[in-house]
């Protein structure tokens, strides 16, 4: 039993260990210049320089702050709209074509307009995060409502559930599978977009860190920034997956 528990914690790190060993081997074998592709030790020193100067923590907090605001705004507006459109066919017929038209447009394409409207700083980055998360969240929620069994709605009607009670007690729990998938996917997208937006629209954050390090020819810090972005993305995904363990979500899985 103990061996199994140890293996469960160790196995996820094996691929990273192999990657680091292979990385070090390639750098040494082909004598690659640190200005082109630094080795793991050089990247670790670059990250230590960033951490000891306080820049790493400050830039990480800045990126998470923008993602949090943009993502929460998208969820707080996208989920209710998706619930409404999921049951209101007339509104869906009017708004869904517009949503499907705007959804494929990359949030990065909005950068010129975001800079024009909001200037340099947090607002344009938050706006881009909002756009990247809002439309997918609406679609996932709407699909979750439409995938519900009609029986649940008929039972709700028989019990006289209307208005807010109908949405909170029937539609929201019933659409929870689609909402959870949307939360996970949109959070990953938001983290991708904030890094790209910070390379252009702001003067802080992990995206800006990478651009600034590149301009200073600190490739060790460029790769270090990429590693930090990957680690945070992995942690955010793990965090959002914990929502699947809430009682309501477990009930949904049993119900299905």
Listing DSSP states for 122-176 in one string gives HHHHHHHHHHHHHHHHHHHHHHHHHTS-HHHHHHHHHTT--HHHHIIIIIHHHTH
Q: What is the CA radius of gyration of the chain?
A: 23
Output the pLDDT for position 7: 65
- Count Cβ atoms below 10 Å from residue 190 Cβ, excluding itself: 24
Output the pLDDT for position 12: 73
For residues 44 and 42, what is the distance between their CA atoms, to the nearest angstrom?
A: 5
Output the pLDDT for position 253: 47
pLDDT tens digits along 119-148? 888 999 999 999 999 999 999 999 988 877
Residues in the chain, pLDDT under 50 = 251, 253-256
The encoded tokens of residue 58 equal: 């400050």
HSE-up of residue 147 (Cα within 13 Å, Cβ side) = 17
For residues 96 and 127, what is the distance between their CA atoms, to the nearest angstrom?
A: 21
Output the pLDDT for position 254: 43
**Do 50 and 221 form a contact (C-beta atoms < 8 A)?**
yes
The pTM assigned to this predicted structure is: 0.86
Output the pLDDT for position 13: 80
């Amino acid at each position: 039993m103990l061996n199994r528990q140890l293996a469960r914690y160790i196995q996820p790190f094996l691929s990273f260990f192999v990657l680091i060993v292979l990385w070090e081997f390639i750098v040494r074998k082909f004598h690659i210049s640190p200005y082109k592709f630094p080795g793991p030790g050089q990247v670790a020193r670059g990250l230590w320089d960033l951490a000891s100067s306080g820049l790493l923590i400050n830039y990480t907090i800045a990126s998470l702050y923008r993602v949090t605001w943009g993502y929460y705004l998208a969820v707080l507006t996208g989920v209710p709209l998706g619930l409404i459109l999921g049951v209101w066919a007339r509104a869906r017929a009017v708004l869904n074509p517009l949503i499907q038209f705007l959804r494929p447009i990359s949030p990065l394409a909005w950068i010129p307009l975001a800079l024009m409207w909001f200037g340099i700083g947090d607002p344009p980055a938050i706006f881009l995060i909002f756009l990247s998360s809002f439309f997918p969240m609406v679609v996932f929620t709407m699909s979750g409502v439409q995938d519900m069994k009609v029986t649940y709605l008929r039972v709700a009607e028989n019990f006289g559930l209307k208005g807010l009670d109908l949405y909170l007690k029937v539609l929201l729990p019933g659409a929870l599978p689609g909402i959870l998938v949307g939360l996970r996917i949109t959070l990953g997208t938001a983290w991708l977009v904030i890094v790209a937006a910070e390379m252009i629209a702001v003067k802080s954050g992990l995206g800006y860190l990478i651009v600034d390090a590149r301009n200073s020819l600190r490739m060790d810090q460029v790769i270090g920034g990429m590693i930090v972005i990957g680690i945070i993305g992995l942690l955010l995904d793990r965090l959002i997956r914990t929502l699947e363990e809430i009682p309501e979500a477990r009930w949904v899985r049993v119900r299905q």
